[in-house]
Chains A and B, each alone.
Chain A
Amino acid sequence: MSKGLLLLGLCCLLAAAPAGLATAAPPAGTFVTVVSENPDNLNPYLHSLLASHLVYRYVFDSLYTIDYRGQWQPALATSYKVSPDGLTWTFTLRPGVRWADGQPFTSADVKYTWQLVTNRDIHITYATGFDKIASVDTPDPTTVVYRLKEPYAPFRDQVVGAPIVPRHVLGALPGDQINRAPFNQKPVGTGPFAVSEFVTDDHVTLVANPSYWRARPRLQRIIVRIVPDRNTQVNLLRAGDLSLLAGVPPARLDEVRRIPSVVIKRYLSPVYALVQLDEYEFLRDVTVRQALDFATPKASIIKNVMRGQAEPAVSDMVPNGPWANKRLAPRPYDPARARKMLLEDGFTPGPGGFLAKGGKRLEIPLWTLSSSPYFVQAMQIIAQAWRAVGVYTETHSASAAALFGQNGPQWNGRDAALIFSWGQGVLPQNKINWHSMYIPKDATAPGENAERYSNPEMDRLLDAVDRTLDEARRHALYDRIQELEHRDVPVIFLFWFTSNDAVTTRVRGYDVTTFGTTPPEEWSTY
C-alpha cells in the first residue's frame, strides 16, 4: 500500500512539472473518434476487420450509396438504367470528379475495380456480386456498361454500392504486389477525406479533401484513435478527448449519460443475436426447434443481460428497414407450452427429470463466444430455461477462432446450439444463410448454412428472388422467406442490438440511424 502511495506521489510530482491540464477538447475543425482494433487493411476489398471499414468509409465512394434515411442516392454515378432482360446495366458517371491525388476519375477506374476484385492472385475478401459480371464496357470516360451473366437483382446492393478504387495507383501492379502495396495503409480515394498518417495501433489521421465533389468538408481533419480497451474509451470520452464514441458499452451507458457535454444517439443496429440450431439428431425435428424457441426467455435476456439495449427479433430483416415482414411476431416465452409440445412429440420424462425419446436423452449443448460477456450471460439464462423444460443442456464458451475455424465444434456436432451475432446489414440478401447449397460439405470447408437447414421451398424462393427485379414481387418473396424462417426455426432469433453513440455537444451535423451516419463532410466541431 505504502508503495502505491509513494508511486502516486511520484506520479503527481511528474505530472505537476508541466503546468496546465493534461487534456483539452479537440480543437475546432478536428473530429476525434476511436476504434477498438488496428485497421488491418484499408483496401476495401482486402480487409477483414470492421475497424478498417470505419476508416476507409471516409476515403472511398461508390456509384450509388445508401443515405442515413435508407434511400439510395447517386454518388460517383448520376443515373443508371437496366435493360428489360436485366442483363445490361448502364451507368452515367459524374463528370469532373478527381481522386485525392488530383488525377481524374473515369469509367476506367470502375472497370478496373471489377478486374481487381476478380483477380485470383489477390487476397480478395469481398467479391459478392462481382462474379455475376460477364464484361464491363467503357465507351467513354463517363459511361460504364456492365453485362451480367444472368439477371441478378442484388447487383445494385452488392456492386453498385461497392467502393471504387483507383486504376492509376494499382492498375500497373501485379496481383501479388497489390497484396503488399503501400496503398493498403495509405489509400487514395475520391471521398471527403484522405489518410495523411497511419501509426499502427495508435491512430489514423484523415485530412479533408478540399476538392470533394459533393461539398467541401466542414472539418479539417478526422482522427481515429486505436484503443482496444472499452473502459479506456469511455475514460477518453469523460476526459473530453473524443468527439464521438460509437457504441457505448451498455454497462457504462448510465454513467456516460450523466456527462453534461455528451448527447446520446440511440439507434437500432442491423446486427442480430441468434441461437443457431445445428440440425443433428433431435434438432432435425422442427417441433423440437419450435419448442426451444418457446422455451427461450428473450425478453428477460433483453432486460437483464442487454439492460434494455436491444429489440425483439423475429426474422433476419432489420425491423425498421423496408424488408421486414411486419405480420410476424416473436414466439412468447412459454415454458409450459414448450414442454407440452415436446411431450406430444413423443418425449417422456426420464432420470433427473430430463426428457428422452427412444432411450436417448434430449441433450442440446449450448456454445458461445468467450469474448462476449453478453453472450456468456445469455447462454446461462437460456441453459437454465431449457433445463427447466427437461432439455439436458451443458454450456461451453470458446474463442471465435476455435468456434468458427476448421474442425471446430461446429463441424463435429458438439456445438448443437450456438449463440452468436450475424446480419447482412440493411440489405435483404440472405441466400448464404438459408440455401441448402451453402451447407458446409466437410469439416474443413466453410459454409454459412452451418445449421444445415434444408427446405426445397426456401431454396426455390431464394433462387427466384435473385432473378426478380420487380420491387413489389421481391418484397412478396422475402415476406415468404421470413415466414419460413419463423416457421422452421433454423435459428432462434434472440434480439437486435441497439447502439448508443455518445457525441459531444461541440459536434454539429452528426446523426446516425440503422442505415448509417449523416455524410462526414457535413460534420463540424467548434
Chain B
Amino acid sequence: MIAYVAQRAGQAGVLLLLVSLVSYGIMNAAPGGPLAVYLHNPQVTADRIELLRHQLGLDRPWYLRYLAWLAGILQGHWGYSYYTGRPVLQMIAERVPATFLLMLSAFVLAIALAFPLGVFAATRKYSWADNLLSFGSFFAWAMPTFWFGLMLQLVLAVQLRLLPVAGMHEIGSASPLDLLRHLVMPAMVLGLGSIASWSRYLRSSVLETLGQDYVRTARAKGLPDRRVRRHVLRNSMIPIVTLMGLDLHVLFSGAVITESIFGWPGMGRLFLSALSNRDYPLQMAGLMISASLLILGNLLADLTYAALDPRIRYR
C-alpha cells in the first residue's frame, strides 16, 4: 500500500511538471498577454506599455520566464500578481474559507440528497415516483446555472424577501446565521447539479447490484431487507466515489457562474479574472493547485475502492 502511494506520488510529480510546462506554453501562445488590458485603455499610452513589458520581464522569451517561475515555485515563491502587486499565495489563501464553505455545503447537500434519492429510485424501478425523479434529475441537470440562480434570486430575495440577494455577509455583520442565510441560495444552485447527476449514477449502479447473484442468495437465506440494502449500497458506491474524487478539486477551485451571480468572493472569480487579464503568476498558481487536487482526488478515490471492496488490493 505504502509502496503504491509512493509510486503514485512519483508519477504525480512528473505529471505536474508536464502540466506546468504545457500550461505555461499554451498560456504564452494565446493571443493577448498580460498587457492587453492596457491596450484598450485610452489613458495608458504605448510607451507606458513598453516600459511595463520590460518591468514585468515580459520581453524575455517564454521558456526563460518558465524556468524562473519553476525555480521560484520550487523555493516556495509563487510570485506577485501583475495587477494588484500582491503575493499570489496570499490572494489565494484569503479565498479559501469562502470557497471551501460554499463548495462543502453544496457537496454535503448533494450527498445528503443524492444517496437517498438514488436508492429510492432504484428500489422502485419504473414506478411513477422513479419516473418523476428521473424527469426532475434531467430537468435539474439541463437547467443553466445562471438561469436557476437568477430565478431563485427573483423569487426568494426580490419578491418574497426571505433571503439576501447576494454577498456573503450583511456589511458589518459577522453572525453565523447571517452567513447561513447568504449561503442558502448559492449552495442550492451548486448542489442541485450534483444531486441530479450523482443520484442518476447511484440509481443505475444500485439497479445493477440488485441483479447480482449474491443479492438473490442473501434474500434467499432470509437476510432482512435492511441488511441487504446495506450490502447493495456499499457495492454500488464505486462509480460515485470516482465521481466524487474527480470533483474534489472543485472544493478548492470554486464555481465561477454561481459565485458571480451571488457575489460570493470565491476562488472561481479570482481565477476567471486572472484568466481574462492574463495574470500569469495567479493563473499558473490556480492551475497548479487545481491539477494537484485533481490528482490527489483520483488517488483518494482509488484508495477508497480498496476500503469499499475487499477484493481490490494495491501493491
Contacts and interface: CB of A to CB of B under 8 A. Distances in A.
Interface of A: 1-4, 6-7, 10-12, 14-18, 21-23, 32, 37-38, 40-41, 46, 48-49, 120-121, 123-128, 179-181, 184-185, 199-203, 205, 223, 225-229, 231-232, 235-236, 238-239, 241, 399-409, 420, 422-425, 432, 438, 440, 445-448
Given A1-B136, A11-B185, A41-B85, A402 B31 contact: yes
Given A4-B140, A400-B36, A23 B165 contact: yes
Contact of B94 (A14, A200, A225): A200
Given A4-B139, A201-B269, A401-B37, A46 B85 contact: yes
Contacts of A121: 55
Interface stretch (B4-12, B176-184, B225-233): B176-184
B150 A231 contact: yes
Interface in B127-180: 132-133, 135-137, 139-140, 146, 150, 152-154, 156-158, 161-169, 171, 177, 180
7 contacts: A7-B191, A14-B181, A48-B38, A180-B86, A200-B94, A239-B161, A241-B164
Interface residues of B, number: 81
A14 B164 CA distance: 13
A425 B40 CA distance: 14
Contacts of B38: 48, 125, 446
A27 B217 CA distance: 69
Given A231-B150, A401-B278, A205 B171 contact: yes
B277 A401 contact: yes
Interface string B8-50: 0000000000000000000000111101111111111110111
B209 interface: no
B117 interface: yes
A402 B30 contact: yes
Nearest to B54: A120
Contacts of A223: 171
A1 to B, nearest CB: 4
B187 to A, nearest CB: 9
A34 to B, nearest CB: 9
B262 interface: yes
A447 B50 CA distance: 10
B161 A21 contact: yes
Interface in B81-99: 83-87, 91, 94-95
Contacts of B137: 3
B113 interface: yes
B30 A2 contact: no
Nearest to B33: A405
B177 A18 contact: yes
B154 A235 contact: yes
A241 B86 CA distance: 31
Given A22-B157, A41-B84, A400-B276, 20 more contacts: A1-B136, A2-B133, A3-B117, A11-B152, A11-B184, A15-B163, A22-B162, A23-B164, A40-B84, A121-B55, A125-B41, A125-B52, A128-B43, A200-B95, A200-B265, A223-B171, A225-B263, A229-B146, A405-B33, A425-B42
B273 to A, nearest CB: 7
Given A2-B132, A11-B188, A406-B33, A123 B261 contact: no
Contact of B113 (A6, A128, A409): A6
Contacts of A180: 80, 85-87
B56 interface: yes
A7 B188 contact: yes
Contact of A404 (B32, B150, B177): B32
Contact of B46 (A6, A12, A229, A448): A448
B122 interface: no
A445 B169 CA distance: 45
A483 to B, nearest CB: 22
B45 A3 contact: no
Contacts of A179: 80, 85
Contacts of A21: 161
Most chain A C-beta atoms within 10 Å of own C-beta, residue among B133, B162, B177: B162
Contacts of A399: 32, 276
Given A201-B265, A399-B276, A401-B37, A126 B43 contact: yes
A241 to B, nearest CB: 6
A294 to B, nearest CB: 27
Nearest to B266: A201
Most chain B C-beta atoms within 10 Å of own C-beta, residue among A11, A402, A446: A446
B39 A405 contact: yes
Contacts of A231: 150, 261
A10 B113 CA distance: 11
Q: Which 3 A-B pairs have the closest CB atoms?
A: A405-B32, A401-B32, A405-B36
Interface string B230-264: 00000000000000000000000000000011110
Given A180-B80, A235-B166, A432-B45, A420 B40 contact: yes
A401 B269 contact: no
A77 B60 CA distance: 44
B293 interface: no
A446 B83 contact: no
A2 B138 CA distance: 11
Most chain A C-beta atoms within 10 Å of own C-beta, residue among B95, B117, B137, B263: B263
Contact of A184 (B84, B168, B278): B84
A232 B166 contact: yes
Contact of A14 (B184, B273, B278): B184
Contact of A424 (B42, B94, B153, B269): B42
A232 B262 contact: yes
A513 B100 CA distance: 43
B192 interface: yes
A408 B31 contact: yes
B195 interface: yes
Contact of A3 (B41, B140, B164): B140
B51 interface: yes
A11 B31 contact: no
B150 A407 contact: no
A49 B49 CA distance: 15
B270 interface: yes
Contacts of A423: 42
A399 B46 CA distance: 20
Contacts of A200: 91, 94-95, 265
Contacts of B45: 127-128, 432, 448
